[in-house]
């Protein structure tokens, strides 16, 4: 009886999830008032932000990076409490890297118009997109949100639909960024979060909205497929689970140490950590010993 009851409960839960998915696709064309209002605010704010000079944008991004980095320990601890995943000290490193180091890589780069590519008779367009939709799938919470500061240089507005597992710390981070926007006289609705209850249907509403110009979908395969099937330009990042090849001429000792460090960092929840190893037969035994 216990087994039968458990199986029945499991089946009911699966049916409920399936119904939610089907409903999301059936009603994909129905965009609610809240979604329309968010996109309208984003489009309005982008028109004001479009004329900002590069030095003003750089100053604001620097302030954002420094503000988030200063709160790294607080945000990391809050992430572990909310998601029950990861290691606080490792998350502090991730947050500081994704804010300060990402900004350093962007500082001084052109954010709009055309920029020459060295050693090529080409130029690349650095378009300013009208609205940006992001659905973080990294259950560690905060880090995808922070890492998309780099896209701020090339986008007008960021609309974040946060994972339900990290909505608290994610919203807190977005609020920090919005405070910086206000300090610099920028429209605070350049950054928005979906405050109402998150759902698959809500996600599809944003993906299909005519005012959304780009989707960045990270997380499960179904999320990425939905983004690419929406008809809106999309960048999709599915599960990592990276295989690692240990070549015959590799530094065996260093490679083994790096694998251990990489896989254990933040309890191995980073999708780019080493998921499995492929070791060339010539060095297999020696590598295992290490």
| Chain segment 23-64, per-residue pLDDT in tens | 555 555 578 888 898 889 888 888 888 888 888 888 999 999
What local confidence, expressed as pLDDT, does residue 287 receive? 92
Read off the tokens for 90.
């490792």
DSSP 268: G
Query: Does 134 lie in the same domain as 251?
Result: no
**Residue 115 falls within a domain, yes or no?**
no
- pLDDT over threshold 50, residue 115: yes
Is there a domain that residue 170 lies in?
Answer: yes
Q: For position 201, what pLDDT does the model report? A: 79
Q: Check residue 114 and give its pLDDT.
A: 60
Domain identity same for 171 and 141: yes
**Do residues 142 and 247 share a domain?**
no
pLDDT the model gives residue 73:
96
Structure-block tokens of residue 270: 């980073």
Q: Kindly state whether residues 63 and 169 are assigned to the same domain.
A: yes
Mean pLDDT of 211-236: 83
pLDDT band at residue 223 using 50, 70 and 90 as cut-offs: confident
How far is CA 93 from its chain centroid?
17
The more confident residue out of 36 and 147 is 36
The domain total for the chain is 3
| Residue 157 annotated as catalytic | no
Are 84 and 212 within one domain?
A: yes
Tell whether 24 and 36 lie within a shared domain: no
**Are residues 141 and 50 part of one domain?**
yes
Name the least confident of 72-86, 147-161, 222-236: 147-161
62 and 89 both lie in a single domain = yes
* Contact predicate 146/29, CB 8 Å: no
* Exposed/middle/buried for residue 14 (C-beta within 10 Å: 0-12, 13-18, 19+): exposed
In a domain, 114, yes or no: no
Q: Is the pLDDT of residue 124 over 90?
A: no
Whether pLDDT at 189 is above 60: yes
- 3-state class (DSSP) for residue 277: strand
Six-digit token string for 76: 């990391």
Helix pair angle (200-208, 2-26), 10° resolution = 20
Look at residue 268 and tell me whether its pLDDT is greater than 90: no
| Of 145, 166, 247, 271, catalytic | 271
Instruction: Give the structural domain span for 156.
Output: 31-108+127-237
Number of H helices, E strands in the chain: 13, 9
Q: How many CB atoms lie within 10 A of CB 273?
A: 19
Residue 198, pLDDT score: 58
Asked, for residue 16, whether it belongs to a domain, the answer is: yes
Pairing of strands 113-116, 123-126: antiparallel
CB-CB neighbours of 40 under 10 Å? 13
Residue 113 within any structural domain of the chain: no
Does residue 193 form part of some domain? yes
Cα–chain center distance at 259: 24
Query: Is residue 117 a part of any domain in this protein?
Result: no
In a domain, 118, yes or no: no
Mean local confidence (pLDDT), 113-127: 53
Lowest mean pLDDT among 149-163, 210-224, 250-264: 149-163
């Amino acid at each position: 009886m216990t087994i039968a009851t458990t199986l029945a409960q499991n089946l009911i839960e699966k049916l409920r999830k399936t119904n939610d998915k089907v409903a999301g696709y059936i009603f994909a064309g129905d965009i609610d008032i809240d979604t329309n209002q968010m996109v309208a605010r984003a489009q309005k704010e982008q028109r004001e932000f479009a004329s900002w000079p590069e030095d003003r944008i750089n100053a604001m991004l620097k302030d954002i990076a420094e503000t988030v980095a200063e709160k790294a320990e607080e945000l990391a601890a809050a992430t572990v409490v909310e998601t029950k995943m990861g290691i606080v000290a490792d998350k502090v490193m991730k947050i500081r890297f994704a804010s300060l180091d990402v900004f350093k890589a962007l500082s001084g780069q052109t954010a709009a118009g055309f920029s020459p590519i060295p050693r090529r008779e080409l130029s690349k367009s650095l378009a300013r997109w009208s609205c940006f939709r992001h659905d973080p799938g990294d259950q560690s919470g905060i880090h995808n949100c922070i890492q998309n500061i780099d896209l701020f240089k090339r986008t007008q507005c960021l609309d974040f639909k946060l994972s339900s597992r990290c909505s608290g710390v994610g919203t807190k981070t977005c609020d920090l960024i919005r405070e910086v926007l206000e300090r610099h006289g920028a429209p605070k609705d350049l950054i928005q979060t979906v405050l109402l209850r998150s759902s698959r249907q809500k996600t599809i509403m944003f993906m299909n909205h005519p005012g959304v110009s780009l989707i960045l979908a990270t997380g499960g395969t179904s999320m990425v497929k939905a983004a690419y099937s929406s008809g809106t330009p999309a960048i999709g990042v599915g599960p990592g689970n990276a295989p690692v090849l240990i070549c015959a001429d590799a530094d065996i000792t260093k490679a083994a140490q790096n694998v251990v460090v990489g896989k254990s960092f933040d309890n191995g929840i980073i999708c780019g950590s080493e998921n499995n190893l492929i070791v060339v037969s010539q060095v297999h035994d020696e590598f295992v010993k290490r």
